[in-house]
Amino acid sequence: MTIRTRIAPSPTGDPHVGTAYIALFNLCFARQQEGKFVLRIEDTDQGRSTAESEQAIFDSLRWMGLDWDEGPDVGGEFGPYRQSERKEIYKEYAERLIEKGHAFRCYRTTEELDALRQGLKEQGINRALKPYDLELPKDEVAKREAANAPYVIRMKVPVDGKVEIEDMLRGTMELDWALVDAQILLKSDGMPTYHLANVVDDHLMQITHVLRGEEWINSAPKHKLLYEYFGWDMPQLCHLPLLRNPDKSKLSKRKNPTSILYYQRMGYLPEALVNYLGRMGWSMPDEREKFSLQEMLEQFDIQRVSLGGPIFDVEKLSWLNGLWIREDLSQEQLAERLQQWALNKDYMMQILPHAQQRIETLSDFIPLTAFFASGMMPIKAESFTGLTLKDEALTEALQFALWKLESLRNWERDAIFAAMKTVADSMGVKVKDFFAPLFIAIAGTTASISVIDSMAILGPDLSRARIRYALDLLGGVSKKKLKKLEKAYSQLD
């Protein structure tokens, strides 16, 4: 049997370090046993999936040297590898389950579902909605069918009892059927949900081992049941521990940058990032901290994964990155890396139109533009004194700007300007005053190249990270304050 593993990222937002981490373990597990590692794009959430985000997944994983044997961009004999191109397949399988009596069409409206859930809650019953809750009288079904009312296809699930899930690291886990709902398999727009698409694809793509994050454990009972309904063998499951912030909470961009592009922009070496992710819950037999992808692959043993939540600590990563820079690169190679990273003509050509206006001698160039090739700015809370916006208004402006920029899809000059102006206008603040703290966060000073152009050039990851850093310097935003700010933000027009 050929070992086949896969990752199945959804192309929404920035490429996540968690995706690279899961990719690394799947790659090592498969390749070490001469198997294949597949990349499948789970883009069934059409509202949130974007082509840019998909491309960013390809680019960032490749940058890290985590390449795949089959995928949307490289092809393979089990394609298409993009779920949006497999719609017909899922539909057919969902119908098949109806024919076998394992699934049903559900015409319940959102309001009815809410009422049903509320009903259970009022009776103090803690269980999921089951097929018999959802059932409608036959004539009502016929009526809705005749009226072409929208429907979803749901799977039938046991009412109670236990289900056993085998996990390569966790052994046998017992979960409760009572908490498993009559999962939607096919949505009213004809798109599958994750559960159906995932099971059908893993089967058709002959995936033998599913190594994924532990947040999917609760989905395993549904998947197991679907495999049984179809009469297929289930791949072996292995739920890897989630990456965590230093305070043990689930890795989140509020507390740690999570985008691979951020680490690239900050000047981490891909070797170091891969090495660090390899140490997340895993260790070399001799416990050495520094190792290459090739070395990890040779020594890989999934049983060496420990389940304690691995902490993703940027300081530790920086330390390791320093080792890689000092021990593995000749000066010649370091010079090349610096050029590839930011000291290249392409990047300079983006900066020059803005710098040329402002310099008198060539030696003015580096001091003026150093912030384009820096990490966090050497600023302090005091750097913000003397601005028109102070205290609460200052944090509010930075936080609102950050939220707006986090939801900005199209990262280019005019869009950034329009977004920032909307926030300033709805806060009733002059654009100039609103931009001042942004200047300091982004460039370290208000006497610099236009902050909008600067953010456009720096890119979303570093720009947002610098604003977050500024907010932290100003004392951070407490949970209570955050709630208040969120409310105020939602009321902006």
| Site of interaction with ligand GLU (CB under 6 A) | 8-10, 42, 198, 212, 216
Residue closer to ligand GLU by CB (options 142, 307) is: 307
> Percentage helix, strand, coil, to 5, in the chain?
55, 10, 35
253 is catalytic: yes
Chain centroid offset of residue 427 CA: 31
Least distance in angstroms from the C-beta of 212 to ligand GLU: 4
The continuous run of DSSP H or E covering 209 comes out as strand 209-213
Shortest Cβ contact with ligand GLU: which residue?
212
Distance, CA of 38 to CA of 27 (rounded, Å): 9
Least distance in angstroms from the C-beta of 250 to ligand GLU: 13
Considering 87, 156, 187, 253, which one is annotated as catalytic?
253
Neighbours of 42 (CB within 10 A): 20
Residue closer to ligand GLU by CB (options 183, 198) is: 198
Neighbours of 272 (CB within 10 A): 21
Residue closer to ligand GLU by CB (options 195, 316) is: 195
Q: What secondary structure, in 3-state letters, does 113-128 show?
A: HHHHHHHHHHCCCCCC
- Give the residue among 74, 82, 91 at the shortest CA–CA distance from 37: 74
Residue closer to ligand GLU by CB (options 210, 465) is: 210
CA distances from 336 to 8, 271, 272, 332 (A): 33, 15, 17, 6
Residue 420: partners with Cβ closer than 8 Å, 6 or more residues away:
401, 404, 431, 434, 435, 438, 452
- Strand order, beta sheet including 152-155: 103-106, 152-155, 184-186
Beta strand 171-176 with 184-186 is unpaired
Residue closer to ligand GLU by CB (options 8, 458) is: 8
6 with 207: CB under 8 angstroms?
Answer: yes
Distance, CA of 105 to CA of 94 (rounded, Å): 10
Residue closer to ligand GLU by CB (options 45, 425) is: 45
- Give the residue among 315, 272, 260 at the shortest CA–CA distance from 461: 260
Least distance in angstroms from the C-beta of 94 to ligand GLU: 18
Least distance in angstroms from the C-beta of 32 to ligand GLU: 20
Distance, CA of 458 to CA of 146 (rounded, Å): 56
Residue closer to ligand GLU by CB (options 10, 454) is: 10
Taking the CA atoms of residue 348, residue 352, residue 356 and residue 359 in that order, the dihedral angle to the nearest 10 degrees is -40
- Catalytic residue numbers? 253
